Structure formats: C-alpha cells, structure tokens
Structure 1
C-alpha cells in the first residue's frame, strides 16, 4: 500500500500539470515531487520548469531514447552535485523512475537516515550520497540493489556496523565509507565481494580488529585505503594475492610484526603507505617485484636492518622511511631513480655518504636525512633541475663546503644543515636565495663574511648562523629582510659597530649577537624594534651607556648585556620591562641599581661592576662606600637582626591568617620576576572584578598597588568539564597542563603566565591582562567596528605566528588542541596572543607525530573532521581549527549558527562560494578596497580546513602564505626586479601565490 500522502500529492500534481497548456510527462512529475520534498535554498533547480514536455533538459537529469515504437525518452540518471538541497532523501518518487540507474547527490545537505525505501530502486548501478549529513546506520536493505556497482557514502555521520548483507552485492566494484562514525568490528564479510576494485574505509573508529586472512580473495582490488581504522595485529600474508593493487594505505593503525614477504607479489602497486604503526623487523627483500611502485611510506615504525637495494632501484616518486632504526648506507641505486622528488630518511642510524649524483636524474624537491650518521660532502647535483625546496640535513657528520651550485637553487625555501662538520666560505649567491624563509647553518665551522647579496633573500624570516667562525661586519644589506623574525648569530667572530640597518627590521623578535667582537655604542634607535623578545649582546666590546630606549621594548623578556664595556648608570626606564632573564654583569657600570632590581633576586645580574651600588642588599661597592665600611657593617648587622625578627613575626602571622581563612597559598610558583605576591592577588579578588566565567572557572581583573593590571583565572576546586570536551581523569589536570605548557613558553604571541598558586581547593593562574578581551567577543559585540581589515589581518598573522612557534619553534612541539577565537586574546593595540592551554599536549618524542586521546578535545565548530572520531592528535588538528578562525575574521560570523542549518561555518562558506561567489562570503562591513587581500586570506583559511589532513599546510607555511597575501605596491615590485639581474629568467618569486 502506498502512503496516503504520496497518493494525494501525485493526484494533485497530475491534476495541475494535466491542463491543456502543460504536458509534462509522468517522469517529470515524479521529479517535481522529489524537488518539492526538499528545500532548494539557492534556487539551483530553477530550470525544472513544469511547462516543459520532458525533464531531459533539466539540471542534473540525463535521459535516453527507447528503441520501441513510438520512440519515447526516459530518465536514466540524476546528478545533483553541490546544489545545497536540504532535508531527508525522498526515495519513493525516484524509485518510480523505471530506468533510473544513477543517483548522485554529493556535497549537499541531505539529512536524516538513509531511507529503507531506497531499496526499491532495483535498477540502480551508481549511488553517491557522499559529503552530506546522513546519520544512523547503513540499512541492510541496500543489499537488495543487486545491480549496484558504485556505492559512496563517505563523509557523513553514519554509525554502527557495516551490515554483513552488503556482501550480497556481488557486482559491487567501488565502496567508499571514508570519514564516518562506524564503530563496529572490521567487516570481514566484505572479503566475499570479489568484484571489488576500490575499498575505502579509512578514518572510521572500528572496534580493534585484525585484518582478515581472507583479504587475498579480493583479487581485483586496485585501491585499499584503511588508514585510521583501529587495526591491530600483523598484516596477513594473503595480501600478496592482490596482484592488481595500485594503492595500499594501512597507515595510522596499530599493526605489529614484520612487513610480509608476500607484499613483493603486488606487481601492480603504485603506492604503499604503512606509516604510524608498530611494524618491526627488516624491510622485506623482493620489493623489486613491485615494478609499478611509485610511493612507499613505512615511516614511524620500528623497522631495523638496511634499506633494500631493490627498493631503491624502483622508479619511485616518494620514499619515506623516517623514524625507524634502519642502519647501513643508502643504496647507490637511489640516485639513478628517474622520478624521485621526495626522500625522507630522518631519525635513523644510517651511515656513509650521499651519492654524488643524487638529484642528477630526478627533479628532487624534498630531501630530509637529518639525525643520522651520514658523512662526506654535500652532493653538488641536488638542485640540478631547479626544483629543490627543502634541504634538511641536521645533526650528521657532513664535511666540506656548500657546493656553489646550491647558490643557483632559487627554488629553495627551507635549509637546515646545522650540527655538522661543514666548513669554508658560504657561496655569496647562497645567502640571497629569493624564496628562502629558513636558513640554519649553526654549529659548523663556516668562515668568511655574510654576503651583501643577502638583501635578495627578502622572504627570509629565520636566520641561524651561530657557533661558526663567520667574521667581518654585519652588512647593511640585512636591513632589507623586512620579514626577518629571528637572527641567531652568536659565537662567531663578527666585528664592527651595531649596524644601523637593523632598525628597519621592525618584525624582529630575537636578536642574538653574543660572543662576537663587536664594539661601539648600543644605538638609541633600538626602541623601534617593538616586537623584540630576546636581545643578547653578551661577550662583546660594546661601550658607552645603556640606552634608556631599551625600556620602551614592551615585549622584551630576555636581556643580556653582560661582559661588555658599558659604563654610566643603569637607566630607570629598564624598570618598565617584564624580564625573566636579566644580566648586566661584568661591565663598568656605576651609580645605584634601579629600585625594582635592587633585590636579592637580581643580585647575580650585576656582579663584576665594582662601581655599582646595590642598595637593598646594603652592599655598596663604590670607592665612597669603603670610607663607611664600619658603619655599613654595623648597620647591616642591626638590619639583619631586625629582618629576622620581622620574618619570624610574619611567618607566624601568615600561618595564623591562613588557618583562620581556611586557605593555603603556600604553593606559589612564579615564572617571571614579580613585584607582587600571592597575598595581594588574593586580597584583590572580588566578585565586582569578575570579567569572565566559564566551564573551568572564573577570571578576575586585578589592579595591583603598583598600578599594573593582571588577569587571574581561578579554577574550580575539581576538574569541571562542563561543555568542553576533552578534559577527563585519564588526561593531566587542566591546571597542571596549563602550568607545564605556559610556564616555559616565551613568545610575543603567546599569553604570558606570570605565576600560579595551587593549594588544592584554590588554584590560581595569573596572566598578563589583555584589555580588549578575546576575538570571539569582539566580533559579536558593538566593538566589531574597531576590527577593520588591517586589524583583522594583523590578528591572523599574530595568532598564526604563535601557533607556528608551538609547532616548530620549541622541542618537543606543543599541540594546543583548543584553538578558537575565544582563546585568542587582544591587547590594547589589538595585537593577538594565543591563550588557554588547559588541554594542550606536549609531544614527548619525535616519533609520536600523533597521539591518541581518551576523548575529544576542542570546541564544537573547530574540531577537525578526522579528530572527531579517530582521536588522533597532531598539528593538523590545530591547523584546521585555526582555519576556522580565519573564516571568522573574513566573514564576521561564528563557527556555529542557526543560519547554517545542521552544518558549520566551513561548509557554509564552501557552499556559498560555489553558489554565489566571494562577495556573499566577505563581511559586508569590511572596506571593498581590501577585497583582493581578503580573498587570498580566505583561500588560506579554506586550505587549512581541508577535509583531508594531508592537504593542510604546516603552520610555518600558513604564516608565510598569510604574509604573502598582503598587497604589494607595483613600484616595490619593479624595484625588486631591478635588484635581481643575476637570477634566471623566471620571476615567480615576485608573485603572491596561495598554494
């Protein structure tokens, strides 16, 4: 019996469309009924005109003519990709189309469950409902579609088991269930579907399962993608029976044992990925049988032995064996590979030299052999084809010079060859590579001077040349490096005065020129380096006075001017700084130490200055003080007795007060030099000063007696999860995580943790105060008008640099795991700092590129698709969340909103871009003159929120792309062209490219 509503609707449609002026056939009426059951928000189906005679010219409809007389046409396919249809799938009218063989509605908003009535479409051969919002289980009734060849339900929210009945689909060739919430056991029954050519089940949290030994029955398989499927145990030997296999991906599971010898029988394979498992033993011999193999990845395992010669003889595009325990030398045959563009072997125990012809026969792009025991010279042919982008050779025993040929390698972006035995003069052209953003030469024996050609390296952001024998002046050309963030030049033989051109490096955060031979005065223009965090000029011959302008560097936390020839008094302005490292020892300073620093905490900061008077320690070392030594000692003894008496009284009083109040603030820990104590903080915390409250506690604004303002987060007595996911008993307590993480971080875009207090029932975290609150509140408040595009652009770059520092700037790296606009705080000039590290994760070992968490960490709307059900933590999760923040800055909209239906900001933006273009996405309050720049930043955000983690760029790359998005004046581009006559004819380095 057909439902009454269906009969009624069909009758009405027949009545309406049977008028003399309308002659739409029966199949057109059924398609209109299908349309009427859904919401077509973007009016994508406007071409479905009831006045037509047939639907064959409608969008997405395919027809064929019958051979019968009279000739008629019938609908065979419905393809509606990315049309943003909303609602449950109305299967009944579609299944009444007698010749329908293809139903494809991907990348839309089809919701609810897969209807059981879909099994009535018995002629279906192709069914694609991927990238929708389907929920519930996969209905076993789909097994009734016995002609089905192609079934794609990927990127939905399906859960439960994969029904065993699907094994009845004996014609099925393509099955894709990637990125769902399927949590039953691995579907062994699918091994009976011997017609399968593509089996894609990756990124589902199946129950721990072993790969079935019957896997070899799928002899027709070309692609087997089982990444992140919670697989355990060994790889079955029967895998060698899959002789048609072209792509094998078993990565990110918990497979154990050795790689089976039978894998060599896969002579059709193009790609094998076995990384991030627990595979042991040696790589199998006989890999040379895989004559079609192009990509082989067995990294992040426990493999031992040597790299097989036959593997390197294959025409590989990519070979990744990093983070294992491989030994021996690199086979010579690898240098003869004609297609090799990626070779990653870092963190093994490989020895010997690299082949001199490596890079001669292939367009090598990435070479990473860091942390091995390689020796010999760098091959001169590495960049023969001009494609090399990354050259990473850290911590080996390479010797000799940098080949002159690398000076012509204009494609290079990252060079890290530190901690080797390299020597000689660095080629002049090598200093000026135009795409280079990281140059690390530290801990070698290089000599010579820094070339003036460094001015052409205008993308350089990180220059590390410390612990070498570089000599001569720092060239004025270094002032051309407007993107430079860090300059580490310590422990060399650099000489001369402080170069004035450094004043142009306004983004500089770290300047280390310690242990050199520099002289002259420290210039007053240094106040222009507003972003400076670390300044180390120790062990030089700088003279003159300490410039008072240093006191205006508000971001400075590290200042070392020790072992120089500085004279005069210490400027009082230095008291404005919030320093955690301060050293002026062994100079010729005189006068009184500023009161802020005249305490015991800083007494080692001033030793070796015989004319300096430290008042509070009653130790005046000036010549005048010697005349009054007797009086001083007398006074000192009296003062000591007085202080001891006061201390005893104070301790007793404090114990009495703490007992009376029932509070214990003895577990006080500071990470910076402080001018306040815990009692002042506790005293000033009142309900009138509460500026925020959340699931973890309250935040207070506290104005100290000194006039300084701090923010105090008081956590609840026990870990309170509230609405936040991811803070559970099996993980570290939020307080401990935040202290462990923030206590050791020093970066201008990471919020500072001044100190903390943990007394069990009262746990306080004291931060620097950010007057403009967080980005989320700013975007939705009346102050949003203050966030013009230049301000938002600066916020994006600031936050990106903070995250980049966490991922790449410290060892071990830190994954934030809760990146969102609420956790991006804004100072009084709208500078952005990343905050709230309560669920951050420190990666303890390099081999742990991703770690499993006991429950999801993060906030809804920001959680990466794969993280939501694989619980795998790596930097890609942070990058996705940051991409959502970029979309917020561009659109001005929150990550979750009722306007998006059941979707989030990412999908809403993607849909709107495709349907209506850029202008409907950008926040209308932003000035249209920035449209080009905004669109480039938006592209970065979309790239960061790619559904596949592998497509998301690293954070250092995100920073680079954001900076490249800035509009460059034409006059500046012309000037750059005239400065680079020695480069080849390609000028792609002048283009702003979003990859």
Structure 2
C-alpha cells in the first residue's frame, strides 16, 4: 500500500513538472516584453525575444551585467519601432543606457523614472512638445542625445541643474527662445551641440566661456547675432568650435587664438569683419579653419600657415587683400587651400607645392599675377587646380603633364600663352579641363585619346590652330566640347559622331570646313549644336531631326546648300539659326512663321510666307484667276462669320447683364469692405466689373476675375464658391466659421512682403466673399512652366523664381507671429509679375500655428494638391512648417526637371520618386530639363539636391525655410564645399557637384 502511494505521488510530481515551464523569465525580461507590447514592432524585428528564456541577456539589443543576469543597456536603433516611449523600460532598476535612435518614437518622452540612466540616445524620432524638465533630475546622466526630433519651445531653465552631464545634443529640432546663457552653469559639459534650431535672434552668451571642461561647441545655424565674446578664448580644452551660418558681426576676437587645444574652428557664413588676427600659427593641433563667406579684410597673416598640423584653410568669399603669404609654400600638412572670391594680388610663392601635400587649391576670382608655380604638383597628390578669373601669365607648366592625380583644371580667363603641354591633354583621371579666354596657341594633341574620364573640355577664345584630331572619338565620357573663337581648321572628324555622352558641341567662329557629319546616331544626349561662322559646305543632315533632346541649333554663317530638311520639324528648338548660308527651296511648315523670321536671314533662295512668296515664274495667268476666286470665297466666309459673332455677342451681353444684375440685386449698403492698404477704388467699382468675360481662372475654391479700374490700375478679384466656404466652416468648427474666416483674412492682410501677393481688401455679403489681390500679368508658375510659354523660363529666371518663393515662405514661417503654414504650396500658387518675380498666393487653406513652438497641428481633413502633399501629412493629418518645405521641394524639382508633380510617364510614382529612381538608374542628366542651358548645370544640380533634401520622407530631415533660402543663395556663391554633420552624414548644404569649388561655369 505504501509503495503504491509513493508511486502515485511520483507520477503526480512528474506530471506537474511537465505542465510547468522549466525556468521562468526574470523580472527584467518581463519589463522588456511589456515595453515591446507598448510599441509597434515590425514582424522581423525582435523575433528572438523569447518569453520562455530564463533571462533576456541573449536577446537582440540587450546588454546585461557580466556576473549577474540583470539588464544594464538596451540598444535598438533603426528598427522602425513606433509608438510612445515605453514607460516599462524605466521599471528596469539597473538600466544605465537606452539607445532608440532612428525610429518613430513619439510624441511624448516620459523619462522621469529612469533614475539609473547614464546614457540616453533617442535621436531621429518623432518627439514633440517642450523638452522635459525631468531630464535634468536624472542624477547620473552623462550623455543626452535628442537631436533630429520636433521638440519646440525654449530650452527649460531646469537644464542648468544637470549634475554630471558631459554631452548634450539638441541639433535639428524646432527650439525657440534665445540660446540660453544658463547652460554655462553645467560645469561638467564637454560637448554642447545646439546647431540648426530656429532660436530667436540673440547674442552668443559670454557665460559659455565658463565651461572650462568643454571640448566641443557647435552652435551653427542658431540665429546668433552680435559679436563673438572674447570669453570663449578661455576654453583651453576646446577642440572643435563651430559658429557657422549665423549673423555674427564685428571682428574675430584675438582671444580666439588662445584656444590652445583647437583642432577645427568654423566661423563661415556670418558677417564678421576686420582682419584675421595673428596667432593661429601657434596652435599646435589646429587642422582646419573655415572663415569663408564673411566680410573679412586686410592681409592673410603670415604666421597662419605655420601651424604644424594645418590641413585645410577656407577663407573664400571675403574681401582679403595682399599676396598669398610665402609661408604657405612651407606648410608641412596643407592639403586644401580655398581662397577664391577675394581681392588677393601679387604673385604666388615660387615653391608652392614642392613640399606641401596639396590636393586642392582654389585661388579663383582674385587679381593674382605672374606664372603658375612649376612645382605645384611635385608631391603628386594634386587633384584640383582652380585659378580662373585672375591675371596669370606665362605658360602652363610642363610638370602638370606628369600630375596624373589631376581631376579638375580650371584656368580660364587669365593671360596664359604658349602651347598646352602635350601630356596635359591626356591625363587619365581628369574630368574637367577649362582653358578658355586665354592666349593659348598650338593644337589639340592626339594624346587626348588617353583622357578616359574627360567629361568637359572648354577651350573657347584662344588662338588654337590645326584640326580636331580623330583621337577625340576615344574620349567616350565627353559631355561638352566648347572650342569657339579659335582658328581651328579642317573637317570635323567622323569619330566625333560616335560619342554617346556628348551634350554640347560648340565650335562657332573657327575656320572649319567640309561637310557636316552624318552617322550621328550616338548623339542621343546632344542638346546644343553650334557650328556657326565657319566654312562648312554641303547640305544640312536630315539626321539632325532624329536627335531626341536637341533644342539649340545654330548653323549660321557657313556655305550650306540645299533645302532645310523636313525632319527638323521633329525638334523642339528654343534657338534655331541657319542664316547667312546658301539654302534654297520651301521652308518646312513649322518654321514658315513670323516667329522664325530671324532664323533664315541671308538665304535669298529660300521660299516662305515670312520672307515673301517664291518668285512668280511658274504660276502664270492661272494664279490670278485662282487668286480672284479665293478672294471671293474669303469674303463670303468673313461675312458669315461677322453675322455669327454678332449673334453670339448679343446673347452674351444679355447673359452677362443678367448675371451682373443678379449679383448687384443685393443691397449695396450690406456689403462690408475691409481694406488692408490705402485704396483708390470702392467695392462698387469691383462689383461692376465681375463680368464673365473678365474671368481669368477658376479652381476648387473660387473664380478669379481680372478687373481694370477706372484709374487704369488692374487688380485680381477672387470670388469664393459658397461650397468652399461651407467646407472651411465645417473644418473650423461650425458656427464660428465666419469669425474664423474674417480673423484669417485679417491676419493675411497684415502681411507685408515683396514675395507674398498683396491682398488689397476683402468684400463680404452673407455667404459671398470677394478677395481683391494685386494683379500678376504672367499668371502662375505652373501655367508658364508646363505650358507653351516654358521657353520664357531660362535658368536665371527659374532660379530667381525659386529664391523669391522661398523667401516668401520663410517670411510666413519665421517672421509672422504667430507663424502661418500655407498648406497648399504648388507651382499654380506661385504667381509671376511682369518681370517674372514670384509671389506666393492662394491662402485659402492656410493655417496659423498657435503658440510659441512649432509642434505639428492636427487637421480634420487633408488640404493640398496631389503630388505636393508631404507623406506624414497624408496619413497623420498633422501639419507644421515642414509640410510646406516638402511641397516647396516638389516645386524645385519641377523647375529643374520641367515636369509636373504627377504624370502618366511616371507610372505609379510621383515626381519625387521618379527623380530618385531615375537618378539612381541612369544618372542626373536624365532628370534635367533639356530646355535649360547646360552652361549652368552645376547650379541646376545644386538646386536639384536642395529639392531632394526638402522632400525627405522624414520631416526632421527637412531644413527650415529660412535655411532653404540660405542654401539657394549659396548656389551662386561659387565654391561651397560639401558639409558633413557631426556624425559624418551629408548636411542639407550638400551639393551634387561638391568639388566644383570655384567660380561660375
């Protein structure tokens, strides 16, 4: 009996063991599972977080103490985690480190209970609202990285209480207020990064000079004004100082040379003035200085280049004078010297480059004279030699032909003479050779066949002779050959027709002869062909009509014969000229119009209506009979047309009178006029002119009339649809809709900016609302850009429009209090005046962003237009200024590509995705508008890249519109190098052709 009982008990125990898990997950693991459940986690992420494990120490992203099983760290970056910060993490008692960077955590950060934290990195997420005061109460916190979120409001006073904090990064948020001086009380700080926040204009706090342990101070793009405080010179442990892209004024204080540990000092893009103080040469660890784009003047200090580790010097775009110091030739580590766009003169040190490991030297746009130093590439590392727009003379050094590292040579607009050394023509890595506007002689050497990477060869306006060698056909990457204004002779080599990348061929004003090339099927990318003022004979090749992107064709001033080929009608030419040849016969119908009169001058045997009919030698008497009969039929047709037009006009006048009287039947005394400027007209004059024949546009929100006033002024009147008003009423909350509308109009009526369309007044009667704007004679950018007038928009005009519109939006976002979000930025809402200056218009769905911050505001319905709507707005209905930035980025892409935001050509993609995928698969050339002059390709590509930054899928990665304005302005400040942020990523100042450091194309 006892044995049976024991057996029964043993079986029960075994069964119980089977039913219970072998081990239970410890408490830290349970907290982690709670945190996981609080987040939205992609299926493939955290798959090994197994609740049946004893501890979480082998789970993805989990660190544990080596001797015990408690969790000390969690690192889950870039896993697409979404949701609020999981409070369960703060219940893990020994958790010292949290890294949730590059996810979608937000909108709140509840961190108060994480009292053991030493390190917190929650950068690049979706956190909004003010910075939590509780962060300063974490007693052991050493490292805090909150960059690239949407925190707003001022930095709280509590941040002065950090007990042990060593690193604070708040870069790329939406923080307001001034840069606070109380951070100078956090004595333990070693790194302080507040860069690229829209702080209120304010000084750089002198108290930051009290941070004696500070090693890194990054305050770029913080809206700092005033002088650099001398107290910063006390930061003897500082290795990196970045005060760039602010509005700092006054001199560089000499105390800055007391930063004895400095490695990098960046003060570029401010308004600093005065001389560069001596003393930087004594800084033993200094590797780079960047004082570019200021107003510095005086000579470059001789001792500057004596800093033993100095590698990069950027002083471009200032007003520096005097010669380049002799000491530069003995700088032992100097690799990059950019001094362009100053007023430097004198000759260059004769030994420059012999002992200095130069990689890039840009001295363009100065007044430097003398010869190019012969040993400038003796170290064999030189890649960029940029000295255009100076007064250099003498020969191009023979030694450059041995500089096989060279990639870019720009020596245009100097006084260089003699032959180009043979070896220079064939340097294997060179992509750009610009020698135009000099006094060079000799021939293009056959050695050019070795230039396997040459893309751009510009030789214009020299004294080159001889023929173009057939070896040029081996330069398979050649995009541009410009050699106009020389004395080249002989025929075009047939090998030229086989260059597949050729986009520009400009050989005007030479002595070339023979027939024009046939067999040019490879010229699929050719957009410009200019062979004018030579001695070419024979006929115009019909094959030219098959070139898909050719839009500039000039064959004038030759001896061409035969007819103008009908195949040329296939082309969409912005410039067409075959004047002063010996062409004959009828013109193709497309070109037989007045618009092309100047295209055919000096060809007396050409026939066409624009030059008079062909001589009447073959028509005889019958032509008079046919002419009389034609006149009779024409008269009958005209008479019938007059009767028809008169009838339509009578009917239309009656209809117009009816509509106008319907509008005017409302008691005029009940119309309310609110004016925002001094008016020279009354509401009655506006009402009298709202005829259907004055309608110039109609859209979703209303109808627009052109009204010519009695004083000759012209205004545009927008009559809102009643339905549109009701829809806005619904969004704004029912009965308060009228008050909201009037308040919105009053807000917009206060706007005074040259790039915002002027609202003269509004007229209101019941549900009828009229907005009276200044009249813009060139209509909208969208209509011009995507219509028949696109040829009017050359690159200079498009760039001006982009900058104008950016400044208008920047005003709305940063200078209006409270800020205004447009919500419907698109090319059709950018209007153009008579001079093609741009104004942002149509604020029908604009919203005020209340409060001091820039937190996203939720909307009940989506506003905006297809192709322009920011991704996050479409699925969250949350809107802030970054939504406008995205839409403006699409407009920039329109200006660069010439394509609309959505098009059947893109398939299921929009313009943004089409540009990205096409560039990745085919290269940047395939997205640029072929109608644009590729002389400006560098600028065009830079604007393209600004557009891509603005249309980043994450709002935190988009620049503020104030920064977009600066970026666009810098497009034409030549030589802007690519900027990296402190994590080594490309900043919004990145340009596609970042190595194009010098001056205009």
The two structures have a TM-score, normalised by structure 1, of 0.68
1:872 to 961, 964, 980: 964
Contact 2:896 2:940 in 1 (8 A): no
CA distance in 2, matches of 1:97, 1:858: 40
For residues 240-264 of structure 1, the C-alpha deviation after alignment (integer angstroms, 9 at most, x for no partner) is 1111111000111111111112111
Deviation at 1:16?
14
1:39 is aligned to: 40
Residue 231 (structure 1) aligned with residue 359 (structure 2):
no
2:763 matches 1:745 = no
For 2:155 and 2:346, the matched residues in 1 are separated by: 50
2:991 is matched with 954
Match of 2:470 in 1: 476
Cα distance change, pair 525–79 in 1 and its aligned pair in 2 (3 A):
closer
Question: Following the alignment from structure 2 to structure 1, what is the Cα–Cα distance between the partners of residues 916 and 108?
Answer: 43
Go from structure 1 to structure 2 and tell me whether the alpha carbon gap of 1:358 and 1:22 turns closer, same or farther (over 3 Å shift).
Answer: same
Q: Counterpart in 2 of 1:350?
A: 344
Alignment-derived partner of residue 438 in structure 1: 432
For 1:694 and 1:949, the matched residues in 2 are separated by: 40
Tell me if 1:105 matches 2:100: yes
- Residues in 2 aligned to 1:804 and 1:152: alpha-carbon distance in whole angstroms: 44
Partner of 2:357: 363
C-alpha spacing 1:18/1:130, structure 2 compared with 1 (3 Å):
farther
Aligned CA RMSD, in angstroms, stands at 5.2
Verify the 8 A CA contact 2:795 2:936 in the aligned structure 1.
Answer: no
2:267 match: 274
**Structure 1 609/236 Cα, relative in aligned 2: closer, same or farther at 3 Å?**
same
The alignment status of 1:544 with 2:538, answered yes or no, reads yes
- Distance in 1 of aligned mates of 2:233 and 2:394: 46
Provide the rounded CA distance (Å) in 1 between the counterparts of 2:954 and 2:162. Answer: 38
Aligned residue for 1:974?
none
Q: 1:439 to 1:339 in 2, by over 3 A?
A: same
Please tell me whether Structure 1 or Structure 2 has the larger radius of gyration of its CA atoms: 2
2:755 aligned with 1:731 = yes
Instruction: Tell me the residue number matched to 1:175.
Output: 168
| Contact 2:480 2:503 survives alignment (8 Å) | yes
1:127 to 2:120 alignment: yes
Among 953, 956, 961, the residue aligned to 1:861:
953
- Structure 2 counterparts to residues 400-439 of structure 1, below 5 A: 400-439=394-433
Change (3 A) 1:867 1:771: closer
List per-residue Cα deviations over 1:479-498 (Å, max 9, x = no partner): 12222222111111111112
Q: Does the C-alpha gap of structure 1 residues 587 and 323 become closer, same or farther in structure 2, counting only changes over 3 Å?
A: same
Distance 1:219 1:468 in 2: 59
Could you say which residue in structure 2 is the equivalent of 1:488? 482
Q: Who is 1:76 aligned against?
A: 72
Q: Distance in 2 between matches of 1:561 and 1:233?
A: 58
Partners of 1:867 and 1:873 within 8 A in 2: no
Residue 615 of structure 1: how far off its partner (Å): 4.7
- Distance across 2 between alignment mates of 1:695 and 1:735: 17
| 1:242 aligned residue | 235
State the secondary structure of the residue aligned to 1:466.
Answer: coil
Q: Give the structure 2 partner of residue 676 of structure 1.
A: none
User: What secondary structure sits across from 2:559 in the alignment?
Assistant: coil
1:87 aligns with 2:87: no
Q: How many residues align?
A: 773
Change (3 A) 1:483 1:944: farther
Match for residue 907 of structure 2 among 770, 778, 799: 778
Residue of structure 2 in register with 1:532 after alignment: 526
Contact 2:444 2:464 in 1 (8 A): yes
Corresponding residue SS for 2:136: helix
Q: CA–CA distance in 1 between the matches of 2:702 and 2:364?
A: 42
Q: 1:627 to 1:44 in 2, by over 3 A?
A: closer
What CA deviation, in whole Å up to 9, does each residue of 1:279-329 have, x standing for no partner?
Answer: 111112222343322111111111111111122222311111111111101
Question: Unaligned regions of 5+ residues in structure 2, if any?
Answer: 1-15, 657-691, 705-715, 732-747, 758-777, 800-826, 843-893, 972-979, 997-1001
Could you say what secondary structure the match of 1:151 adopts? strand
Q: Distance in 2 between matches of 1:946 and 1:801?
A: 34
Q: Is the 8 A contact 1:556 1:578 kept in 2?
A: yes
Query: Does the alignment pair 1:196 with 2:189?
Result: yes
Contact 1:394/1:420 (<8 A) preserved: yes
The answer as to 2:927 corresponding to 1:799 is yes
Distance 1:51 1:133, change over 3 A: same
Measured against aligned partners, the alpha-carbon deviations of 1:198-232 in whole angstroms (never above 9, x if no partner) come to: 00111111111211121211111110001111111
Partner Cα separation in structure 1 for residue 915 and residue 515 of structure 2: 41
Q: In the aligned structure 1, how far is the partner of 2:502 from the partner of 2:59?
A: 59
1:166 is displaced (CA, Å) by 1.3
* 1:533-682 → structure 2 map (5 Å cutoff): 533-613=527-607, 615-618=609-612
1:574-609 Cα offsets, whole Å, 9 max, x none, are 344333333333323334444544444444433434
Aligned equivalent of 1:317? 311
**Aligned equivalents of 1:224, 1:266: Cα separation in 2:** 12
Q: Indicate the SS of the match to 1:477.
A: helix
Q: What SS is found at the alignment partner of 1:566?
A: strand
